[in-house]
Amino acid sequence: MLSNLRPAHDCAPGVLALSSHLPIPGAGLLPVNSYLITATESILIDTGLAHDRGPLLDAVQGRIDLADLGWIVVTHDDRDHAGNLRDLLIAAPNATMVTNGLTLARLGEEWDVPPHRTLRVNPGARVRLGDRELGFLRPPSFDSPATLAVYDVAARGIQVHLDTHVTSLTEGRVILDSGHEFNSDTVIWTAGVDPHPLLAATGLAIDAAGRLITNPTLQVAGHPHVFAAGDAAAVPDLTSPDPGATTAPTAQHAVRQAKVLADNILAHLAGTGLRDYAHTHTGAVATLGRHRGVADIYGHALTGWPAWVLHRAYHLAATPTWDRRARVAADWLLNALFDRDIVTLTDHSRALAGALSQPPHPPGRAAPRHTDQTTTGPGAAARTPAPSTSNAPVTTPPPAPTPKGQPRPAPVRNAPGVITADPDTRNPGPPSRRTRSRTGRRARARARTRKPQATPT
């Protein structure tokens, strides 16, 4: 069988990618990759397919001397990961195999694995191999319990803590329940999708994740008049080869299911046929910062600027209404031409603390607008209101009448910008012309209706 190994290329500083593929009838091509990390003790991640043995060994020898190969990491026990492991251990006498116990058990069924040239690791372990530190994880999706995911701790600056919870986060200091502490300027909290607990109280059929079990028409199992969609529904995935698969709880499925749900409700009320929900996955896109992204569309991988543009185009197409799309596109265009906005952040903590420290005024009485102003003027004495000790209404005695022959005192007016504290001494100023006219008419009317009094003799 001819080799499918592609020309080796550098995928990162000090990392050589050895890419190949395996044709799968009726399914396409299965990617098979190996990586050579050049260091003081070079590391080979996986050994590729057996029919790529010659070209793979030549590619490794073209970069390093096989005597300098210190470690061979096997992430899977299948032949596309360990196809050339035995030959490489023979050609590289100083190399040590790094894998987990399950892979060692399976490989030991076929040939004698030298125990003195093996290093066992488990998911969650971090091992220093020469001047490199590698971390090992169990990926979220795998086809074998022996599968390992490997990441370079030094190159990525990543620390992964499994089965660990944050117990304290104060002023950038993170404390874990394992006792590990570190400083962090950025903290990102994420959570999985969990259906509402109310669904369990409805009495409807739910799956192990707490979602309502529906049929492809989005009708709840056993209740044809009840429909469900989105995160709350376990909708069968008709496009998956797995008969028990359900659609993922993502916004993309929720939006598409909502349209089918609305159409099926109208069809159910009209007594016509319902249609099944089926959506073929076309790929995935994601951004990795400004002008960087990754995408996988119909099996074609994109990175960098094209993937970032594709991600923006997809979200722009999903934005409702054309006017909103135009606003979003204009905003993105301005962001591409200019730097990001600078936002002024004002500290209002002092003003808020001062406002909260003021004692509340007694209930039942309006809050005074000032507390130390006095009223001056002819016939008025300077007064300061005493604090109220009761919620009873306050009554003010009427002013003393002006004796005959003396001029009436001038009205008391407040100086400009001065607020009178005591409502009893507040004077709104001279009456208006309309008020004086109304008062004169009332006085004349009282004079006409008043009975004449007898003059004493």
pLDDT of residue 442: 66
Mean pLDDT of 244-257: 88
DSSP letters of 413-451? -PPTT---S-GGG----SPPHHHHHHHHHHHHHHHHHSP
The mean per-residue pLDDT over the stretch 277-301 comes to: 81
Kindly report the CATH number assigned to the domain that includes residue 214.
3.50.50.60
Domain check: are 20 and 136 in the same one?
A: yes
Q: What pLDDT was estimated at residue 109?
A: 79
**Confidence (pLDDT) at 370:** 46
Distance CA 169, CA 191 (A): 17
Specify whether 251 is located in the same domain as 309. Answer: no
The per-residue pLDDT for 420 is: 43
pLDDT of residue 351: 62
Answer positive or negative: Cα dihedral of 98, 104, 109, 112: positive
In this prediction, residue 281 carries a pLDDT of: 76
Structural domain that includes position 209? 197-270
- Mean pLDDT of the 18-46 span: 85
Q: Would you say residue 179 lies in a domain?
A: no
Please tell me the predicted confidence (pLDDT) of residue 446. 63
Task: State whether 303 and 266 are in the same domain.
Answer: no
Of the three residues 297, 319, 334, the one that is the final residue of a domain is 334
**Is 374 a residue whose pLDDT tops 90?**
no
What average pLDDT score do residues 224-239 get? 92
| pLDDT in the model for residue 377 | 44
Band (pLDDT 50/70/90 cuts) for residue 260 is very high
Confidence of residue 212 (pLDDT cuts 50, 70, 90): very high
- What integer is the mean pLDDT of 74-97? 87
Phi, psi of 161 (to 5 degrees): -115, 115
Q: CA–CA distance from 53 to each of 59, 97, 123, 177, 198 (Å)?
A: 10, 18, 29, 47, 58
Report which DSSP code applies to 140.
S
* Mean pLDDT along residues 131-140: 82
Asked whether residue 122 falls in the same domain as residue 229, the answer is no
* Residue 174 resides in a domain: no
Type of residue numbered 156: R
pLDDT mean over 233-251: 87
Mean pLDDT of the chain: 77
Q: Is residue 234 part of a domain?
A: yes
Number of domains in the chain: 3
CB 198 within 8 A of CB 210: no
Backbone φ and ψ for 211, nearest 5 degrees, come out as: -95, 150
Higher per-residue pLDDT: 403 or 331: 331
Q: 371 falls in which pLDDT band (50, 70, 90)?
A: very low
Domain containing residue 75: CATH number:
3.60.15.10
Residue 378 has pLDDT above 50, yes or no: no
Better-scored residue on pLDDT, 154 or 20: 20
Same domain, 25 and 132: yes
* Percent of the chain residues past pLDDT 70, beyond the cut: 72
pLDDT above 60: residue 375: no
What is the rounded distance in angstroms from the CA atom of residue 131 to the CA atom of residue 16?
A: 17
When pLDDT is cut at 50, 70 and 90, the band that residue 417 belongs to is very low
Statement to judge: residues 44 and 92 lie in one domain: yes
- At residue 49, what is the residue type? L
23 occurs within a structural domain: yes
How far apart (Å, rounded) are the C-alpha atoms in residues 17 and 38? 11
Average pLDDT over every residue of 308-331: 88
Question: CB within 8 A of 44, min separation 6: which ones?
Answer: 34, 35, 36, 37, 60, 69, 71, 72, 73, 88, 95
Side-by-side strand order, sheet with 300-303: 283-287, 293-297, 300-303
